[in-house]
Structures are given as C-alpha cells and as structure tokens.
Amino acid sequence: MVGQFTERLEQEPCKELFNECTRLIHDYLSVAPFADYINSMYYNRFLQWKWLERQPVTKNTFRQYRVLGKGGFGEVCACQVRATGKMYACKKLEKKRIKKRKGESMALNEKQILEKVNSRFVVSLAYAYETKDALCLVLTLMNGGDLKFHIYHMGEAGFEEKRAVFYSAELACGLEDLHRERIVYRDLKPENILLDDHGHIRISDLGLAVHVPEEETIKGRVGTVGYMAPEVVKNERYTFSPDWWALGCLLYEMIEGQSPFQQRKKKIKREDVERLVRDVEEEYSDKFSEDAKSLCKMLLAKEPSERLGCQGEGATEVKAHPIFRSINFKRLKAGRLKAPFTPDPQAIYCKDVLDIEQFSTVKGVELEPKDDSFYCKVSTGSVSIPWQMEMIESECFQELNVFHTDGTVPPDLDWRGQPSPAPKQGLLQRLFGRQVRSSTLLNLEHQHHVSDSTTQVEYSEKSLARRDAPLLGMAWKSTRKPVTQPP
C-alpha cells in the first residue's frame, strides 16, 4: 500500500490521495493505540501545547509596524509576533466606529467566517484580540499588493492572458472552498484580491460574505457597483451565482484593463451602471482569445440558470472550461504550481503611508458595559490551525517538543519530581505550630484522595494547569532566539 501511495504521489500530488490512507490509519489508531496514548507522556505534552495555544492574546503579544491601508472600520498595519517573529497584517476595527455604524453583526460575521474557512486561497485569521479602543483581527500578511494595484499601476493596464487565467484558476479554487462551507462571498473585485510573496492570490475582506443555509436562498443588494450580478441588482433571491458573475467581471478586467460595465476614472451614475449590468452585453477587444471570450460570456450570462458555475456542479463546471486545459488543479491546490509573476521582495506594492487617508475622530458615541458581550465574541485569542502552523514554520515546535532518546520521561513531564517548597510561614504560624501541622495533614489527605479517585486524563489536566504548562512557558522564553526586527 505504501508503494502505491508513493507512486501516485509522484505522478499527481494532491491531498485527496491521502483520504483512504487517513481513514485506515484513523480506524486503527482509534482503538487500543489511543488508550495507550492517553496514558503516555506524549498526551501530556499535547496538553502542554494546548495550554500554550490558549494563552491570552493582547496587544503586547505583537510589535506594530507601518500602516498598510485602511478598511471600513479602521486601519490595517503590519505586525509581528514577539515570541516567534512571524509577520501578520493587523486589521483594526475601531469600537466607536463600529457602534456608530451599527456594524456589530458585520464585524462578528467576518470574524466567524474567517475562523471557519481554512483555504490556501483565502486569507487566514490567526488571532483575534481587543484593546481599549479597537477589536483586532490578525490575518495572513500579503506583501505582494492587491490586483487593482497590479492591473493599473504596473505599466500598461491589464495582464497578459496567461497571468489572468492563472489568477482566475486560483480564484475558482478559493470560491470553491467558500461555497463548500456554504458561504457566498459577494464582494469579488480587484482590491480584495491580494498577492503573497510567491505571487499566489488570496481572497480577503469577507465583511459582506454570508452563510447560505442548506436548501435555502438569500436576498440582499450588497456588493460593489459594477461587480454586482443582475439578480443582486434586481433584488432577487440567490445562492452562489453572484460570485461566478463577479469572477467573469474580474477576468474581463484583468485582460482588458477596465471593468466590463464602467470605465476607470469616468463618472457614471449608479443607475446607469446597473442598467448596463441588467440589459447590455459587454464588448470584447482583440485582447481576448476565443477561449477567454467564451469563458467571460459564460460567466456573465444575465440569467443565473444559464451561467457557468450555476448549473449544479459549481466550481467543477468552471474548472472544466478549455481555457484551463494547461492548469493542473490538483497541483495548484497543493501549492505546487509556480505563479507567472513573483513580487519583488524589495518593492512596496501599496500606497505611501502619507497617501493613506486618515480616519476622522468618531464623536458622539460612548462605549458602555453592555458592549462587552459583543467584544468577547470577537476577541477569542488564537485560532488553532494557523497558530499550530506558526509554531511549525518558526521552528518553535522543533525546539520545545524534545524527548529523551532513551525513552525516559523529560523533567518537565515527570510528575514524580520534587514537590513544590512549602510556603514561607508567617509570624503567627511560627508561634503556633499547630496550624502548620493541621495544614500538612489536610494536604496529605487531599493528595491521597486524588491518587485514589482521579483518572489519568483529569490528573493530566490538573497537573498541566498547576506545574507543567508554566515549565513549557519558561522553556519558551529561555530557548527562543532573539527575533530580528524587520527594517
């Protein structure tokens, strides 16, 4: 079996190849081996890591750097985890601005969706915490800038078709991951698509995304003018069709260098744009190949039932289009395909700090104690998968997850070690020894009760909270190398 998996992995690497292998291993490990694991030092180490993962997150967890841009409720800046050196983007949601705009549900919705989705093509939420004035979402840092900057500020407007097709393929995968969780994005546009250091894209800003209940449709005229689908403009019910329409708009814009329904820097009324979206067919220049024109037309079909991606198979329909014949989607999802453009690590693909418009002070709004329940729902600390990936990538896991080669228990997991020293006696205790003797007898009786009645798992958790977890925290502080601050 190992030979078969290895051969298939070399021919066509993708995570689906591990499904059967994962099932077999899970079935085996879930019986006797799991019981042995619960009673082993490895499970105790696992509890230590979970304790560390759940430590409170505050502004002191990070170093703050330059402002990168601004969102709807506050600025976005670069930040760095002090303990690991990992760089992120911190999206600040000002509490007073949220309250003034009645944006509590929108902010909480974005946080919960980001926390739920784990996709290579969607920005990840790593931490969520609060300060006195703001709620902070710590997200994947995308140093390559957004697609709007690259389309319009890197020479002649637009991309070569090969590059536009590659980004469209990754966007189709990102939408597929969102739709699998029954989330419709509703705000696909160039400024919301970000590039990482290697030139791969991620979808960002999920403030308008919403969960679509099973077997139901939703309704709402939300999105950005020029990218909203006809059914959204007409305030009809829908599921995921608006996202495929917006993908068609974005592909058109990447190739043509302008949106299909409005010209850049030309003022046009919202009503006129919506009329074009509803009633007028887009025009194609000679920049479009026949395949590119075909895909755009199929994605920009006015009727959702006729639109590619909306006929029962979702992203599978889109990925099957001939324009993607050169894209191996399994390798793409595994991160094994090289992007057609790699950002220059020395370049800054965003506006100068002085060019970023500052937020005005919010007046006439006071924060109240009753608002705390909302803040608690947002500021929940670290998110498991991104946090664990950070520990691995920064080599903290390798440094701290140490066991003896001879199989003996490491000191920080040896609960049979020396007991903690007795607390220093006060004056009355020194004068009246009876109190000390009584306290000692009570402690011995309590320890005997624990050894007789406490299960291994319960004892592990109590020991973790009492002694072992602080030891791991001390190891963290003593073994981490100094983090070099970026220039």
Q: Which parts are annotated binding residues for ATP?
A: 100
Spell 447-462 as b/e; 16+ CB within 10 A means b.
eeeeeeeeeeeeebbe
Contact assessment for residue 152 and residue 400, using Cβ atoms and an 8 Å cutoff: no
Question: What tokens appear for 369 in the block?
Answer: 């104690």
Question: How far is Cα 401 from Cα 472, in angstroms, rounded to an integer?
Answer: 9
How open is the CA angle 151-297-272, to the nearest 5 degrees? 70
Contact assessment for residue 226 and residue 259, using Cβ atoms and an 8 Å cutoff: yes
Sheet containing strand 87-94, strands side by side: 62-70, 75-81, 87-94, 134-140, 125-130, 381-382
Phi-psi sector, 215: left (phi>0), alpha (psi -120 to 50), beta = left
Question: How far is Cα 127 from Cα 88, in angstroms, rounded to an integer?
Answer: 10
Question: How far is Cα 330 from Cα 348, in angstroms, rounded to an integer?
Answer: 31
Cross-strand bridge partners of residue 127: 138, 382
Question: What tokens appear for 165 in the block?
Answer: 């097709």
Which residues have a Cβ under 8 Å from the Cβ of 396 and sit 6 or more positions away? Answer: 83, 84, 390, 476, 480
Q: What long-range pairs does 55-61 form, CB within 8 A, spacing at least 24?
A: 55/381, 55/382, 55/473, 56/381, 57/127, 57/128, 57/129, 57/379, 57/381, 57/382, 58/129, 58/131, 59/129, 59/131, 59/136, 61/127, 61/129
Tell me which of 27, 146, 177, 187 is the catalytic residue.
Answer: 187
Please indicate whether residue 133 is annotated as part of the active site. Answer: no
Three-state DSSP class for residue 70: strand
Three-state DSSP class for residue 195: strand
Closest CA to 184 of 116, 124, 106, 241: 241
Contact assessment for residue 413 and residue 45, using Cβ atoms and an 8 Å cutoff: yes
Contact assessment for residue 92 and residue 133, using Cβ atoms and an 8 Å cutoff: no
Which residues have a Cβ under 8 Å from the Cβ of 136 and sit 6 or more positions away? Answer: 59, 90, 91, 92, 93, 127, 128, 129, 130, 379
SS (H, E, C) 310-334: CCCCCHHHHHCCHHHCCCCHHHHHC
Q: Which residues are catalytic?
A: 187
